[in-house]
Chains A and B, each alone.
Chain A
Amino acid sequence: MIPDSLTIDSVRSSIQERTTTALALAEAHYARIQKEDGEIGAYLTLCKERALEQADRIDRMAAEGKPLPPLAGVPVAIKDVMSTCGVRTTAGSKSLAHYIPPYDCTAVAHMEAAGAVVLGKTNCDEFAMGSSNENSAFKPVRNPRDLSRVPGGSSGGSAAAVAADMAVVALGSDTGGSIRQPASFCGVVGLMPTYGRVSRYGLIAFASSLDHIGPLTRTVKDAAIVLRTIAGRDPVDSTSADVPVPDYVAELKKPIRGLKLGIAKEYFSDGLDDEVRHSVESAIDKVKSLGCELAPVSLPHTPYSIPTYYLIATAEASSNLARYDGVRYSYRAPGVKSLSEMYRRSRDEGFGAEVKRRIMLGTYALSAGYYDAYYLKAQKVRTLLTRDFEEAFRKVDAIVTPTSPTAAFRLGEKSNDPLAMYLADIYTVTADLAGIPGISIPCGETKEKLPIGLQILGKHFDESTILRVANAYEKAA
Chain B
Amino acid sequence: MGDRLVDSVEPYNPEMPTSVAHVTTYEPVIGLEVHVQLLTASKIFCSCCTRFGAAPNTNVCPVCLGMPGALPVLNRKAVEFATLAAMALNCRIHETSIFARKNYFYPDLPKGYQISQYDKPLAEHGYIEVQASKTDAGSEKLRTENRELRTRRIGITRVHLEEDAGKSLHEGFPDSDEKTAIDLNRAGVPLIEIVSEPDIATPDEAYEYLTRLKEIILYTGVSDCNMEEGSLRCDANVSVRPRGQKELGTKAEIKNVNSFRFIREALVYEIARQIEVIEGGGKIVQETRLYNSHEGKTYSMRSKEQAHDYRYFPEPDLPPLVVDEKWKAEIAKTLPELPEARRARFVREFGVTEYDAQVLTVSKSLADQFEAAAKAAKNPKRVANLVQGELMGRLKARGASIEQSPISMKGVAASADLVESGVISGKMLKDLYDLSFERDQDFPEVYEAEGRPQQSSDTSALEKIIDEILAANPKQLEQYRAGKTTMLGFFVGQVMKASKGHANPQLVNELLTKKLG
Contacts and interface: CB of A to CB of B under 8 A. Distances in A.
Given A325-B105, A325-B112, A339-B107, A319 B313 contact: yes
B463 to A, nearest CB: 84
Contact of A319 (B62, B70, B112): B112
A239 B313 contact: no
Contact of B70 (A81, A201, A322): A201
Among B107, B110, B309, B311, the one with the most A-chain Cβ atoms within 10 Å of its Cβ is B311
Contact of B69 (A105, A319, A325, A327): A105
A220 B73 CA distance: 34
Contact of B62 (A103, A235, A321, A325): A103
B321 to A, nearest CB: 10
Contacts of B113: 319, 322
Interface stretch (A164-172, A261-269, A363-371): A363-371
Contacts of A319: 101, 103, 112-113, 311, 313
Contacts of A201: 69-71
B69 A203 contact: yes
Interface residues of B, number: 28
Contact of A236 (B66, B73, B112, B312): B73
A283 B110 CA distance: 50
Contacts of A322: 103, 105, 111-113
A148 interface: no
A82 B110 contact: no
Nearest to A343: B105
B72 interface: yes
Interface in A152-184: none
A322 to B, nearest CB: 2
Q: Majority SS of interface residues in chain B?
A: loop
A235 B312 CA distance: 26
A327 B68 CA distance: 13
Interface in B286-345: 309, 311-313, 316-319
B278 interface: no
B74 interface: yes
Contact of A371 (B62, B70, B107, B313): B313
Given A103-B62, A366-B313, A205 B67 contact: no
Interface in B199-232: none
A20 B319 CA distance: 47
A108 to B, nearest CB: 10
Among B62, B112, B318, the one with the most A-chain Cβ atoms within 10 Å of its Cβ is B112
A345 to B, nearest CB: 13
Nearest to B45: A238
B182 interface: yes
A121 interface: no
B167 to A, nearest CB: 13
A201 B46 CA distance: 13
Q: How large is the interface on A (under 10, 10 to 19, 20 to 34, 35 or more residues)?
A: 35 or more
A203 B70 CA distance: 8
Contacts of B66: 323, 328
A237 B65 CA distance: 16
Interface string B46-90: 000000000000000010011111111110000000000000000
B105 A237 contact: no
B69 A99 contact: no
Contact of A323 (B73, B112, B312): B112
Contacts of B317: 205, 208, 238-239
A204 B103 CA distance: 18
Interface string A79-121: 0011100000101000010010111010000000000000000
28 contacts: A82-B69, A99-B68, A101-B67, A103-B70, A205-B317, A208-B316, A209-B316, A236-B73, A238-B317, A239-B71, A239-B319, A316-B313, A319-B101, A319-B103, A319-B113, A319-B311, A321-B112, A322-B112, A323-B66, A323-B68, A325-B107, A328-B65, A328-B110, A329-B67, A366-B311, A367-B311, A368-B311, A371-B313
Given A202-B69, A319-B101, A329-B67, 15 more contacts: A96-B68, A101-B69, A103-B70, A200-B71, A202-B70, A204-B68, A239-B71, A316-B316, A319-B103, A322-B113, A323-B66, A328-B110, A366-B103, A371-B311, A375-B313
Interface of B: 62, 65-74, 101, 103, 105, 107, 110-113, 182, 309, 311-313, 316-319
- 7 tightest A-B contacts by CB? A322-B112, A208-B316, A366-B311, A209-B316, A202-B69, A204-B68, A83-B69
Interface of A: 81-83, 89, 91, 96, 99, 101-103, 105, 200-205, 207-209, 235-239, 315-316, 318-319, 321-323, 325, 327-329, 339, 343, 363, 366-368, 371, 375
